[in-house]
Structure 1
Amino acid sequence: MIASPHAVSEDSTRITYHRAVVGGVGIFYREAGSPSNPTIVLLHGFPSSSRQFSALMPLLASRYHLIAPDYPSFGQSDTPDPANYAYTFDHLAETMDGLLEQMGLSRYSLYLHDYGGPVGFRLMTAHPDRVEALIVSNANAYTEGLGKKWERIAQFWERPDANEDVVDAFLSEKATRERHTLGTRHPERYDPDAWTDEYTHLSLPGQHAIQASLLFDYRTNVAGYPAWQAWLRRYQPPTLVVWGKNDPSFVAAGAQAFARDVPKAEIHLLDAGHWPWEEANAEIAGYVLGFMDRAVPRRLADAPVAAPHRPPSR
């Protein structure tokens, strides 16, 4: 049988699963695609893990090298004791930076979602020379992108002891489910295992305190918005925004605001909620592939490329 000239081998799109030790913490990550291609690092949101990109990665992997890690205390990564690991966004970014350095990745594009925004912007400001392009899905960097619920969370930042109910509500089964279902036009495309698994994880011993620490530290992200925006204005990275416009948490104004600092940004508002891949996965993949082909020239197939360093398994 003669293979189709457009056929893609299964090995080129297969996701593989790995662990590395970074600063004494076991970090899990998904990988797909050839390291000879430009790398995209996909940074997940709350309270999910790199699993949220499982359907998207095979659509990109035939043309790009993909790395999708889990933060400490998320997904399959270790959950170090808060006495030994400070749960702040600075520290999450430091751990992710350590993983990428262990892998020998000195040039990459970043795909940001939700908590991946503050993690990724810290990587960008620390290493502006490493960032080839930026892809953003419902990862906020502007005050106008914060939905109404953030007014109540801001009260928690001001007086955490008097507003502990904010954390309870933030981590509840209802909130975990509605992060997926609110704003969707295709509820039948959402797998309920996503939010039931997330809620099970949030219910594990110690998670309440860890997630409360990160929610309290989120105030540093809002305080960091002006610096992040200044970074965008200075470096003008090729930027693609593919945003679920019906997201009640990070509203559409936050997507449109990127054009203020990166006038050439490509912005697409999708008729979807906070997790746009759940109902527009192929559409998003098309936008990403087209954008990356324009923004980051692919390396010649016969050009010698050193294999990235593989961190030791834990």
Structure 2
Amino acid sequence: MAQTSRILVFIDTPAGPLHKAHRELLTLAASLGEPVAAVTGPSDGTLLTELGSHGVTAVYRPAAELEDSLVAPKAAFLANAAGEAAPAAVLLENTTEGKEIAARLGIRLSSGVITDAVAVDPDLTVTKNVLAGAYTVTAKVTVGTPVITVKPNSIEAAAGSADGMPAVVEVDPGDPGPAARITGRAARPATGRPDLEEARVIVAGGRGTDGDFGPIEELADALGGAVGASRAATDAGWIEHSAQIGQTGKTVSPQLYISAGISGAIQQKAGMQTAQVIVAVNKDADSPVFEIADFGVVGDLFKVLPQAAAEIRKRKG
């Protein structure tokens, strides 16, 4: 693939600076070719400068504001942006919404879609993990423009160092067709913790917490990490469903994953087995989680986690 090929990165942010996942995608795009971006939100001077620092040469934005809606209008706009940019590939976040947009985009472009990527080679061969992380496979789109969603923390985001200002191109937002709309919004209370899917450190609790996530949150805060949970914990109402990790929840790839009071059934493994380091804390020495853990502690999480948090704070101080 020629180094001058354009790689289109989808930046779905209503306002403010780039998210960590966006910077990772832009870093990957720059390693594959010439990064360009499709931006759904306002592309003010600050955002354009930041995009330019990551080597973005062109920014595509909708000519009319996208109305309160879910994925359909975003996919329609992105398809038109891809038509304008004629990229060698399109990169998106590996979120639930990002994967649905990718699927709709693939239909609109008559192109192949690959999700859950952890690496992309210059020839656009994709590496991904399948079957709950038990196997690593390579795949390549053979029809149309490759549409690829990339897991967070798979790429080390480079600091912006370029000095250019990208050109801004207005694009027809397109016809989304029948689509759901957002009828109301409610802000979630700020926790000060990183987003679960972008966090480098995650502390997750399960049935063994018996509804008390205090030790989980304490250790997560000491490590500057996010709080996750098993399906058993979210189904019990102990924590919101947005914290669920697993086959029916979110898939995460942190550098450090601490599992506390979670048995480690296959459903949970599917969401976290690609973590670089897994530490398990469980009273049951025969718990399946120890089979995939790099380090294991057989003990009561209510004793182990507070001690670990205290020692971390002590060393930080």
TM-score by length of 1: 0.33
Bigger proportion of residues as strand: 2
Larger relative contact order, structure 1 or 2 (CA cutoff 8 Å, min sep 6): 1
Structure in which a larger fraction of residues adopt helix = 1
- Larger Rg over CA atoms: 2
Given the two structures, how large is their TM-score scaled by the length of structure 2? 0.33
